[in-house]
């Protein structure tokens, strides 16, 4: 992973999708939270209940980053 690649996205909402080999029946195929920190070994997510989840890089299929709200959305508090 390029050094500093995700620095601009720290404290942003992300969805981390697990690789198919890491998903079991009855468990979600993704994890949602704020991007807390990352390294070559994995990423840390702050979940909505304020707990921190560590996800190893080997188990990640894809990470989607939610865009920040625009000025008008923040002003009117609409989602």
Q: Rounded distance, CA 15 to CA 8, Å?
A: 16
Torsion of CA 23, 28, 29, 34, to 10 degrees: -130
Position 8 scores a pLDDT of 81
pLDDT tens digits for range 40-70: 999 999 998 999 999 999 999 999 998 777 7
Q: What is the overall mean pLDDT for the chain?
A: 85
Overall pTM surpassing 0.75 (yes/no): no
For residue 12 the two structure tokens come to: 């942003």
pLDDT band of residue 3 (cuts 50, 70, 90) is low
Q: Check whether 1 has a pLDDT greater than 70.
A: no
Domains of the chain: 7-67 (2.30.30.100)
């Amino acid at each position: 992973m390029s050094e500093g690649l995700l620095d601009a996205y720290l404290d942003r909402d992300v969805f981390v999708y697990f690789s198919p080999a890491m998903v079991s029946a009855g468990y979600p195929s993704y994890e949602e939270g704020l991007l807390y920190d990352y390294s070559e070994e994995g990423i840390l997510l702050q979940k909505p209940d304020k707990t921190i989840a560590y996800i190893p890089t080997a188990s990640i299929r894809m990470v989607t980053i939610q865009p920040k709200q625009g000025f008008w959305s923040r002003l009117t508090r609409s989602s």
